[in-house]
Structure 1
Amino acid sequence: MMVDEIVTYETAVTQTLNQHVSVRAFLDKPVLDEMLRTVLNAARRSPTSSNMQTYSIIAVRNPETRQKLAVLAGNQKHIEECDVFVGFLADINRLGIASQMHGETLAKSLETTLVATVDAALVGMSVQTAAESFGLGAVMIGGMRNHPQDVAKLLGFPPGVYMVFGMSIGWPAGESPTAFKPRLPESLVIHHEQYDATDPRPRIADYNAMLAEFYGPRNQNKAAWSGPIAKRLNKPSRPHLRQTLEAMGFHFD
């Protein structure tokens, strides 16, 4: 009796994605300019809504500037210690200029704000994947939204530009991981045809236990995922953000 062969589909890209870890400790070793350029230009091929390309990328190597950015992000030392910091910007300033070239005025709206933010997120993910494919390490930094106006002033942004998130990039220090942090179960995240609204609590509880085991015996929080999430999100995060971004040239209506 023949047994059907089990086919495993894997490419260099899926291997890179499956081996992703956030890296916050870096060697004192430079990321060559041409390697960085290759990574950033590959990421510019990322999808973008209606070819609007409503994002910009800023690479910062200057140590003094990175030290100031680290403070603005909540004293995240890896911004100082990485070889290069890269910021991913929602950029509708260019759209406004393009509109003016044809006698039109850009109609700023929630949609343009979302499109620019999504564009920046897509290109940022591509940069991280491309960087990791070279053996570089990286970590995304949402803390750049703590003080978006100060970041904009420091880096010279015009109106209509804000940093969605940043990324520390460099050569990883220490050993490569032998185990990777488990994610939520596939059955809870991937839906087919219709959203599965079955009570997720049993699967969340199973994931809590799996994550607690991954963290090891020193972790006392058995609700290792849902517990921190509940505590972190029991009040609005960055409540100033809408008002600040509107002052920077974005609309949410």
Structure 2
Amino acid sequence: MTTTTDTVLQLLAQRASCRNFTTESVDDTLVHHVLDAAVRAPTAFNFQPYSFVVVRDPEQRAGLARIAGGQRHVLAAPVFVVVCADLRRIEDLCEMQDLLISSEHPDALITSVIDASMAGMCATLAAESLGLGSVLVGGIRNNPGAAVELLGLPVGVFALFGLCLGRPAAVSPTPRPRLHTALTVHHERYDTEPRSLPSPPEATGLTSPSGEVADDERAAWRAQIDKGTRSLSRRRAPVWRKPVAEAVLEHPRP
């Protein structure tokens, strides 16, 4: 008999991002179930320093798609949930205790990003358990100021990533290969000995829930890595030399 634990492990093993959606609408009840599950994620001190902006309006989604670099699934999915780090909540909770803590506190920033990210992951698993397809979209950080204007975000609240929700247009996507666990796990202390990353054509450090990693999967992995490293190289590295709050919480206008 399949246990609940087995079901969760299977869901994680088969999890894959969906970028092709039907035009079928997603009922508000389903969206509520997804976000109700999201808030069950771990959160430091039970602060829950995040907020969700549920976007259904096609014009709003089109604007967010442009911010994300033209990712068509942002517009194609009937629901796009913007997951925001919400430091205003930490400020409000501190005021309840007659404490004054600025939203620019570095640890408050880190906590909000971590907690919002865990909530986002719980949302994706909940969505897939309900038969919905989902994909996380970090491209909405391409232009923070434009996201602020479009969503009406106040100071202390910023968009971290979006979550497309909809009915998959085709068969469930195949999970992408990941680095073998042996390349990511250390025991007792960080092992500084070199660990060989997969390199074409062998890519022996990759693993897949379906078994052997095919040649086309290795090529796709390499292409994705190349795309990501090029994207990083275009971003301004010196941003992390600025004070954390100044670098991330500032609201540049488009």
TM-score category (smaller protein): 0.7 to 0.9
| Structure 2 residue 161 is the aligned partner of structure 1 residue 165 | yes
1:231-242 matched pairs, under 5 angstroms: 231-234=230-233, 236=235
Q: Paired residue for 1:28?
A: 23
**Partner Cα distance (1:126, 1:28) in 2:** 24
Secondary structure of 1:207's aligned partner: coil
**Partner Cα distance (1:44, 1:223) in 2:** 35
Q: Deviations over 1:139-175 (max 9, x none)?
A: 1111111111211221111110001111111111112
**Partner Cα distance (1:129, 1:238) in 2:** 33
Q: Which runs of 5+ in 1 are unaligned?
A: 1-7
**Partner Cα distance (1:212, 1:173) in 2:** 24
CA contact (8 A) 2:179 2:205 kept: no
**Partner Cα distance (1:33, 1:246) in 2:** 31
Q: 1:143 aligns with which of 139, 142, 153?
A: 139
Q: Paired residue for 1:215?
A: 217
Normalised TM-score (structure 1): 0.82
Q: Paired residue for 1:246?
A: 249
1:159-238 matched pairs, under 5 angstroms: 159-177=155-173, 179-201=174-196, 203-205=197-199, 206-207=202-203, 213-215=215-217, 219=219, 227-228=226-227, 230-234=229-233, 236=235
1:130: Cα distance to partner? 0.6
What amino acid does structure 2 have at the position aligned with 1:245?
A: V
CA contact (8 A) 2:42 2:118 kept: yes
Secondary structure of 2:112's aligned partner: helix
CA contact (8 A) 1:85 1:168 kept: yes
**Partner Cα distance (1:232, 1:68) in 2:** 21
**Partner Cα distance (2:140, 2:40) in 1:** 24
1:117: Cα distance to partner? 0.7
1:111: Cα distance to partner? 0.9
Q: Which runs of 5+ in 2 are unaligned?
A: 207-212
Q: Paired residue for 2:209?
A: none
**Partner Cα distance (1:148, 1:212) in 2:** 38
CA contact (8 A) 1:142 1:164 kept: yes
Q: Aligned pair in 2 of structure 1 residues 12, 60: CA closer, same or farther (>3 Å)?
A: same
1:41-190 matched pairs, under 5 angstroms: 41-107=36-102, 108-177=104-173, 179-190=174-185
**Partner Cα distance (1:232, 1:38) in 2:** 34
Secondary structure of 2:110's aligned partner: helix
What amino acid does structure 2 have at the position aligned with 1:247?
A: E
Count of paired positions? 237
What amino acid does structure 2 have at the position aligned with 1:119?
A: D
What amino acid does structure 2 have at the position aligned with 1:147?
A: N
What amino acid does structure 1 have at the position aligned with 2:215?
A: E
Normalised TM-score (structure 2): 0.82
